[in-house]
Amino acid sequence: MATYTLVPGAGGQAWYWHRLVPELRKRGHEVVVVDLPAGDESAGLQEYADTVVKAIGDRTELILVAQSMGGLTAPLVCERLPIDLLVLLNAMVPVPGESGGAWWENTGQAQAMADQAIREGRTPSAEFDLEETFFHDVPPDVKAEALAKDEPPQSSTPFAEPWPLSTWPDTRTVFLQGRDDRLFPLDFQRRVVRERLGIPVDDMPGGHLLALSRPEELAERLEAYHVRPR
């Protein structure tokens, strides 16, 4: 049995994982779901990492899954705990000294997102469209539940500070990307991950919110990583 610790992206809500949790438990695993202090202006990446470490406690056989912005926090946890496997899921990959805010321009995300829209026959918009970008492949009932919630706050603090590690942690790391992600397109992620981590990007159907849109298939992919020989 493994312990899956699930780190959300911007907004920090554990609710994001609520459809994946029963799928992992059904496969015999323990699951730790983390609420990050996203609304706390005083909380930076170290405080986010503290929150994850505290949630894990003394558990072992640890698999850490980091969604989107969670890619800034998860490596810090790997420096502090014996993580067996880090799964980056549609995640941001920083380099030493780079702030989360600078990541967007440094990687060329905006142009990649616009190019993806054109390829899909959509008009690149100057205004961010939450539903079009994030919920285009999420089931209608799940989408309605998400949009009925108050939009979670996200402090700018963790985006403003330089990423504090001097190198990527020596933790077995895999990268899984939704091939229909409109925020971080697949070809964009392949380039960024190759340049920054030197590892391949695996892909599966679905957009940016895979845990909401395809929880069963995502659980199967995570289980395959878990049992894959090192």
Cα 91 from Cα 178, distance rounded (Å): 10
Please report which confidence band the pLDDT of residue 228 belongs to, taking 50, 70 and 90 as the band edges: confident
pLDDT at residue 126 tops 70: no
pLDDT at residue 115 tops 80: yes
Condensed to tens digits (0 to 9), the pLDDT of residues 199-213 reads 999 999 999 999 999
pLDDT score at 150: 85
Condensed to tens digits (0 to 9), the pLDDT of residues 178-194 reads 999 999 999 999 999 99
User: What's the Cα-to-Cα distance from 90 to each of 8, 55, 68, rounded to whole Å?
Assistant: 11, 22, 5
- The average pLDDT across 50-57 equals 98
pLDDT score at 229: 64
Cα 8 from Cα 106, distance rounded (Å): 23
- The average pLDDT across 64-76 equals 98
Condensed to tens digits (0 to 9), the pLDDT of residues 85-111 reads 999 999 999 999 999 999 999 999 999
- Quick check: helix, strand or coil at residue 5? strand
Domain 3-227: state its class.
Answer: alpha beta
- The average pLDDT across 123-149 equals 91
pLDDT at residue 157 tops 80: yes
pLDDT above 70: percentage of residues in the chain: 99
One-letter amino acid at 67 equals Q
For the chain, what is the mean pLDDT?
96
pLDDT score at 124: 87
Domain spans in the chain, listed from the N-terminal domain onward: 3-227
Dihedral (CA of 151, 157, 161, 165) sign: negative
**77 or 228: which leads in pLDDT:** 77
Which residues are within 8 A (CB) of 30 and not within 5 positions of it... i.e. 6 or more apart? 1, 2, 3, 4, 59
Q: What is the pTM of this model?
A: 0.96
